Amino acid sequence: MTTNILAIVDHAEGKLRKSAYELVSEGRRLADASGGTLTALIVGKEVNAMAAELGEYGADTIFVCDDSCMADFDADLYTAAAVEVIKTTGAGIVLVGSSPTDRTLAARMAAKSGVGVAMECISARLRDGRLIGTRAMYGGKLLADVILEADPQIITFRSNVLNIEKNGKAGAITPLAPPPAESKYRIIEKKVRHTGSVELTEADVVVAGGRGMGGSDYTVVEALAKNLGGAVAASRSAVDQGWRSHEDQVGQTGKVVSPKLYVACGVSGAIQHLAGMSSSEVIVAINNDKDAPIFKHADYGIVGDLFDVVPAVTAQLQKMK
Amino acid sequence: MNVIVLLKQVPDTESIIEIADDGASIKTEDVKWVVNPYDELAVEEALQVVEKNGEGQVTVLSAGIKQAETAIRSALAMGAHEGILIEDERLERADTTATGQVLAAALKKIPHDLIIAGQRAVDGDNYLVPAIVAESLDLPILPVIIKESIADGKITCEQVIQGGTMVVEADLPAVITTQRGLNEPRYASMPKIMKAKKKKIASLSLDEIGITDDSLFSNPKIRVESLQVPQKSRAGIIVEGGTPAEKADNLLRHLREDAQVI
């Protein structure tokens, strides 16, 4: 059964997000498996330069909605544009990333189309033209295979779970006029917090500090993260203490990350925290309590004071360079 | 000002979750049920809106089976004025689309100036119900917010986006969804818990809210085919060394040579 695929890609500061490459690569694989076409959709202002690159990862057609009214994420307008492209391409499967705005877009498209959405999948496969998505439920205690029973099948993927593959197609670029829809709300102001730093959910390496940090001084954790090219995270208890902001929180009521390497420093390993990081490829735990639950979930553990061990790791890393 | 909070009861994070015999749902007998943490933020924010406004009331609305009354009572104990449960056995296994439609159908009969929902429920993590409610009621929706203020019939919110926030504004009535950082939910005092126990929770049937189409439940839009316990085996190696530098050196060798992640 032929199924056309649509990948909706995100970007920031004039660059495609990592999820964009992941989604288009996965879209190519699914399109090849089903004999359908892969369309990519990019929306924003001055996004034309990024569009061509999407062809290199296998998009047959790239719809570009480039307009000043689409400069910032307006969920009403973005949803209208996406739903229109779903109709024109006859897409049976729609792939979306997992930033807060990606998830909002997926939910809004599903609501408008009267279908479900498989959120935050870690993998997907086709069976008779239907997508089976695998995703965590109950705070990561279980993995579910879910099937979307109505088209379009909308699926969002966690960052860092899909392979990026080049597949030169030099896709055809098609301009798309902004939708005639009107937004039900107004964007007053956009506040970008950190430019240039690695986004936590997309980072290959995450270094987290927990209760064992004992205060808001994260210098040792930040130095290790910097030397590994990674991002800094915090456990819920560290955030509750006011040591780090909520946006750094990894856990059930925070962000879910799947980096190649997760280094937990002074993190006890509460269930709430494990829900946010247990799908990491390799987990390192550094804790002075040899009975801390985190060691049961780690590949490598060091029992010791994090304020001795973490700077030592940073120092050894610098020697290697 | 009529503020409605959409409430879901979910398994407590510390509960042990076991797969039921059908392989696609969980055993519910021994689960400890709590209010979805994001919905607690919604209740708190609703109370603050009414307190700030000087008048109005907070109504908590849930769709589920009888047992969901416990969650509604927790919200009443926090200070919510009224609780409504849309009660039907079929709601226990309803998918997000059905749940959203049911809540929206009820809301068509309940006066509302502001609807506050958790951004997601931490059991299914679907993020979908508030969007369906807003779509069905043709209301603006401002999701994942960490701040709100209301003036002149408008709500202004700070919404979380990747790497920052966005200030957005909509006319009331509107739907907003919560993010951690919005507030610190209050604890219910003993007298309030006692008082909440005596409050009557209104019950609505699906018939009463005009849901007569069984296909909403018999033909779900998303279905869990199977559940598994994640099997990720970890190396579980304790890295030894006489000094922190030795431990660090041994760790990096493992990461470079065995795990090949650096």
pLDDT tens digits in sequence order for chain B, 262 residues long: 999 999 999 999 889 999 999 999 999 988 999 999 999 999 999 999 999 999 999 999 999 999 999 999 999 999 999 999 999 999 998 999 999 999 999 999 999 999 999 999 999 999 999 999 999 999 999 999 999 999 999 999 999 998 889 999 999 999 999 999 999 999 999 999 999 999 999 999 999 999 998 999 999 999 999 999 998 789 899 999 999 999 999 999 999 999 999 8
Query: What SS3 state is found at A240?
Result: helix
What's the gap between Cα B87 and its chain centre? 18
Contact between residue A120 and residue B125 where contact means Cβ atoms under 8 Å apart: yes
Question: How far is B95 from B77, CA to CA, in rounded Å?
Answer: 29
- Nearest CA to CA, how far is B167 from chain A (Å)? 5
- Nearest CA to CA, how far is B204 from chain A (Å)? 24
Looking at domain A200-320, which of 1.10.10.60, 3.30.420.40, 3.30.70.260, 3.40.50.1220 is its CATH number?
3.40.50.1220
Fold of A5-175: Rossmann fold (3.40.50)
Contact A252 B168 (CB under 8 A): no
ipTM: 0.94
Tokens of B99: 């749940």
Contact B168 A185 (CB under 8 A): yes
> Beta strands B114-118 and B237-238: pairing type?
unpaired
Interface test with B, best of A103, A244, A279 (most B CBs within 10 A): A103
For B213, residues 6+ apart whose C-beta sits below 8 A from its C-beta are: none
The distance in angstroms from the start CA to the end CA of chain A is 52
Question: How far is B189 from B93, CA to CA, in rounded Å?
Answer: 33
Nearest to B104 by CA among B136, B139, B64: B136
CB contacts of A136 in chain B (<8 Å) are 125, 230
CB contacts of A94 in chain B (<8 Å) are none
Nearest to B186 by CA among B57, B68, B41: B41
Task: Give the number of A-B residue pairs with CB atoms closer than 8 Å.
Answer: 257
Cα distances (angstroms) measured from residue A321 to each of A36, A140, A161, B252: 46, 36, 28, 12
Residues 77-96, chain B, touching A (beta carbon < 8 A): 95-96
pLDDT, tens only, A204-260: 999 999 999 999 999 999 999 999 999 999 999 999 999 999 999 999 999 999 999
**DSSP bridge pairs for B223:** A147
CB contacts of B259 in chain A (<8 Å) are 261, 281-282, 299-300
- Nearest CA to CA, how far is A140 from chain B (Å)? 8
CB contacts of B37 in chain A (<8 Å) are 253
Percent of chain B with pLDDT over 70: 100
What does residue A41 show for φ and ψ, rounded to 5 degrees?
A: -125, 125
Q: Give the pLDDT score at A196.
A: 60
CATH 3.40.50.620 domain residues, chain A: 5-175
CATH 3.40.50.1220 domain residues, chain A: 200-320
Nearest to A185 among B142, B219, B252 (CB): B142
CB contacts of A101 in chain B (<8 Å) are 161-162
Question: How far is A247 from A254, CA to CA, in rounded Å?
Answer: 7
Contact B128 A143 (CB under 8 A): no
Low-confidence residues in chain A, pLDDT < 70:
194-197
* Helix residue spans in chain B (DSSP H): 37-53, 69-78, 96-107, 129-137, 190-198, 215-218, 244-253
Nearest to A271 among B14, B163, B169 (CB): B14
CB contacts of A73 in chain B (<8 Å) are 161, 166
